[in-house]
Chain A
């Protein structure tokens, strides 16, 4: 039998050795991890803004593309530009300083990406929604960080789900179906956001709101409701800014 003192001593030594090993590893790879994380966020922004996949192949090309095409700034809730350190803005809690990423080409706005974040079922979901320059339709949406159940709520980051936001089947009078993006504004120009609908979207004539709705994920109603809630909440924070861009073509 081992004495209590020996047992305590042994456990202590093991803890110190393993702890040292772990902190040594973390210390060595932290910089690389941070770079990966930063590139991943930038990739999400670029992807939501519909950049070609071949521009997003490596961390270097992502950084380059981001530098060349993206105008990143912060606005406040009144739609005025404010100074900020955009990488350190807390997207989830922050309400004073709102980051906005604008895709520019020859001084012309081609798309606007806004961070969105909110509670799903288990975790906070982080993502970016990109809007067309008229701030009416969705250009793309991407989620990059969440802790939802893989296969259920975790499906929010999958292509089939995010594609729902840009593929609205519009029936033309001659019976052909044309795919258009979903709209965040209703006919009067009010921001109504996009609702994730349990089951599937009712595409019959009687459901005039279907352009503001996307299919939900089976088995993940709470996650879907969370997405609906924080999309609306976050888009409304940018209402003044988006109105400005729509009306004047600039902030």
Chain B
């Protein structure tokens, strides 16, 4: 099996760039808006989605020839929901503070359109190794965007950059007090949902420009 021939590379790089699930297909927006207030939340969310999407793609691809067509949606949903519950339980056990902050949004990975979408569109039609790469590519494409959005939201909205650690987050850098004294102010709007829309809109614009995507007229 050639894992890294040009086709495999395309499977993994396309969703990160020219076919990004968030910025091109505009899927998974709900959680992209909700968990991008802080960088550490976005990073943990990305890891959770990487795990769920890769595993669900592989599992569904492995059993794809045995799934009765009539109940495939139910089967997909049960596999995804079980994986998400596992992630949720693990977070509660090992990253309790983070699981409190992410609250319902871990559970809502179940309804993230990217995951069902990839299962239906890709995993049920391809072998496990390709399905794994597709899952990895799509979840990283998702993660890349939410990490970029959360970086700007946290930096300009709250004035900090926080990385995940075992507890409430490790503050890597925060805007020095001297800046505030000199008249700098955080943009409160960015912490609220409209701020997420604005940043996400800008990211989508720049990303499409970068990927050279033309919208059909």
Known: A2-B68, A151-B192, A154-B103. 13 other contacts (CB 8 A): A7-B70, A7-B71, A11-B71, A22-B82, A25-B89, A26-B89, A29-B92, A32-B93, A32-B94, A36-B92, A36-B93, A150-B103, A150-B104
Number of A-B contacts (CB under 8 A): 56
A25-B79 Cα distance, complex, nearest whole Å = 15
Q: Are B75 and A14 in contact (CB under 8 A)?
A: yes
When distances are taken between beta carbons in the complex, the residues of chain A under 8 Å from B82 are: 18, 21-22
Given A7-B68, A10-B71, A11-B71, are A36 and B86 also a contact pair (CB < 8 Å)?
A: no
**Looking at chain A's contact residues, is the secondary structure mostly helix, strand, loop, or mixed?**
helix
When distances are taken between beta carbons in the complex, the residues of chain B under 8 Å from A57 are: 167
Question: Is B182's beta carbon under 8 Å from chain A?
Answer: no
**Looking at chain B's contact residues, is the secondary structure mostly helix, strand, loop, or mixed?**
helix
Most A Cβ at <10 Å: residue of B66, B78, B89: B89
Given A36-B93, A150-B103, are A21 and B86 also a contact pair (CB < 8 Å)?
A: yes
Residue interface mask A19-36, B partner, CB < 8 A = 1: 001100110010011001
Question: Is B34's beta carbon under 8 Å from chain A?
Answer: yes
Beta-carbon nearest neighbor of A20 in chain B: B82
Using a CB–CB distance below 8 Å, which chain A residues touch chain B? 2, 6-7, 10-11, 14-15, 18, 21-22, 25-26, 29, 32-33, 36, 40, 57-58, 150-151, 154
Question: Is B6's beta carbon under 8 Å from chain A?
Answer: no
Q: Are B69 and A36 in contact (CB under 8 A)?
A: no
Residues of B121-178 whose CB lies within 8 A of A: 167
Residues of B71-108 whose CB lies within 8 A of A: 71, 74-75, 78-79, 82, 85-86, 89-90, 92-94, 96, 100, 103-104
Beta-carbon nearest neighbor of A2 in chain B: B68
A57-B89 Cα distance, complex, nearest whole Å = 22
Beta-carbon nearest neighbor of B166 in chain A: A58
When distances are taken between beta carbons in the complex, the residues of chain A under 8 Å from B75 are: 10-11, 14
Q: Are B193 and A151 in contact (CB under 8 A)?
A: yes
Q: Are A33 and B89 in contact (CB under 8 A)?
A: yes
Q: Are A36 and B71 in contact (CB under 8 A)?
A: no
Smallest beta-carbon distance B214→chain A, Å: 36
When distances are taken between beta carbons in the complex, the residues of chain B under 8 Å from A11 are: 71, 74-75
When distances are taken between beta carbons in the complex, the residues of chain B under 8 Å from A26 are: 89
Smallest beta-carbon distance A126→chain B, Å: 13
Smallest beta-carbon distance B43→chain A, Å: 19
Question: Is B27's beta carbon under 8 Å from chain A?
Answer: no
